[in-house]
């Protein structure tokens, strides 16, 4: 049995860093974590696949989970990276339909799984939990609409700058020269993330290198001027 007190300090901090989880009454927090099953994941290990019947929802405790999909003709689309404290997989729990996306560990990760039966018991045991889950779903829908708006109204440079600033906020390590994103981010992944080609991503990164905004260290990026990138994303 998992309890809040049994989790490491880093794992508890990850949970409580999510404003939604922090807003839950303590009794619901404890009951939710108590019902959780720890799921350690190696690099690239699958958490769930498109088309599968939902076997629960997940809370990222450590590492990074990437969510995306593959079309019938083999085209891969990377939708998002989810940091510690994030909840994923709740949509299929509500509508009972197969999974729409796939989730893999981008690095070694740890997730807390709430299986379907326990999720239903949480809803019936705590009447207010249903409304709280609706709030979480509303927040996710708002994020999706904001992402869609950005995709349709912003330039590639704005979208890429926004993504890099966001990744730096969750996975950034401060160095004497800037903030290094501690995730391997091949250009193909960045292209999928912002809806562009790898060639265009390469062009933009070269331009930013010449302007002193970023530096490339193999598959990692160092943001030399994060403030300038943030301003570019807000234009």
Instruction: For residue 167, give the CATH number of its domain.
Output: 1.10.10.10
Question: pLDDT tens across 51-61, in order?
Answer: 899 889 999 99
| Same domain, yes or no: 31 and 135 | yes
Examine the pLDDT at 45 and tell me if it is beyond 90: yes
The span from the CA of 63 to the CA of 107, in Å, is 6
State the CATH number of the domain containing residue 46: 2.60.120.10
| Same domain, yes or no: 31 and 105 | yes
- What is the average pLDDT across 33-44? 94
Of the candidate ranges 69-73, 129-133, 141-145, 168-172, the one whose mean pLDDT is the lowest: 69-73
The last residue of one of the domains, among 135, 151, 167, is 151
| Same domain, yes or no: 72 and 141 | yes
Read off the pLDDT band of 219 (50, 70, 90).
confident
| Same domain, yes or no: 42 and 158 | no
- When divided into structural domains, the chain yields a total of 2
| Same domain, yes or no: 31 and 147 | yes
Read off the pLDDT band of 224 (50, 70, 90).
very high
Examine the pLDDT at 2 and tell me if it is beyond 80: no
Examine the pLDDT at 139 and tell me if it is beyond 90: no
pLDDT over 70 percentage in the chain: 97
The last residue of one of the domains, among 151, 183, 201, is 151
For residue 16, give the nearest of 91, 209, 24 by alpha carbon: 24
Read off the pLDDT band of 74 (50, 70, 90).
low
The pLDDT assigned to 169 comes to 93
The parent domain of residue 197 ranges over: 154-233
The last residue of one of the domains, among 151, 183, 205, is 151
| Same domain, yes or no: 102 and 198 | no
Contact between residue 178 and residue 215 where contact means Cβ atoms under 8 Å apart? yes
Q: What is the pTM of this model?
A: 0.86
- What is the average pLDDT across 172-197? 92
Examine the pLDDT at 1 and tell me if it is beyond 70: no
The pLDDT assigned to 72 comes to 65
| Same domain, yes or no: 92 and 77 | yes
| Same domain, yes or no: 173 and 78 | no
Higher pLDDT, 86 or 143: 86
195 Cβ contact partners less than 8 Å away, ≥ 6 residues apart? 151, 159
| Same domain, yes or no: 49 and 141 | yes
Of the candidate ranges 1-10, 94-103, 182-191, the one whose mean pLDDT is the lowest: 1-10
Of the candidate ranges 43-52, 140-149, 180-189, the one whose mean pLDDT is the lowest: 140-149
| Same domain, yes or no: 140 and 159 | no
| Same domain, yes or no: 120 and 205 | no
- What is the average pLDDT across 129-154? 85
Examine the pLDDT at 217 and tell me if it is beyond 90: no
Examine the pLDDT at 136 and tell me if it is beyond 90: no
| Same domain, yes or no: 113 and 191 | no
């Amino acid at each position: 049995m998992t309890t809040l007190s049994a989790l490491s300090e880093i794992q508890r901090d990850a949970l409580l860093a999510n404003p939604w989880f922090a807003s839950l009454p303590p009794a619901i927090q404890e009951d939710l974590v108590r019902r959780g099953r720890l799921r350690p994941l190696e690099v690239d290990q699958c958490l769930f696949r498109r088309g599968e019947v939902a076997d629960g929802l997940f809370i990222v405790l450590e590492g990074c989970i990437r969510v995306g999909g593959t079309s019938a003709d083999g085209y891969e689309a990377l939708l998002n990276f989810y940091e510690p404290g994030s909840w994923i997989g709740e949509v299929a729990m509500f509508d009972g339909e197969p999974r729409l996306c796939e989730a893999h560990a981008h690095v070694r990760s740890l997730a807390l799984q709430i299986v379907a039966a326990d999720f239903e018991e949480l809803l019936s045991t705590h009447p207010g939990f249903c409304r709280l889950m609706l709030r979480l779903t509303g927040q996710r829908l708002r994020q999706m609409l904001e992402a869609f708006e950005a995709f349709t109204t912003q330039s590639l440079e704005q979208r890429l700058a926004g993504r890099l600033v966001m990744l730096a906020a969750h996975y950034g390590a401060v160095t004497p020269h800037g903030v290094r994103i501690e995730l391997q981010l091949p250009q193909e992944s960045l292209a999928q993330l912002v809806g562009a080609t790898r060639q265009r991503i390469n062009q933009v990164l070269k331009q930013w290198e010449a302007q002193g905004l970023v530096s490339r260290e193999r598959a990692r990026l160092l943001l030399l001027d994060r403030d300038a990138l943030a301003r570019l994303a807000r234009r």
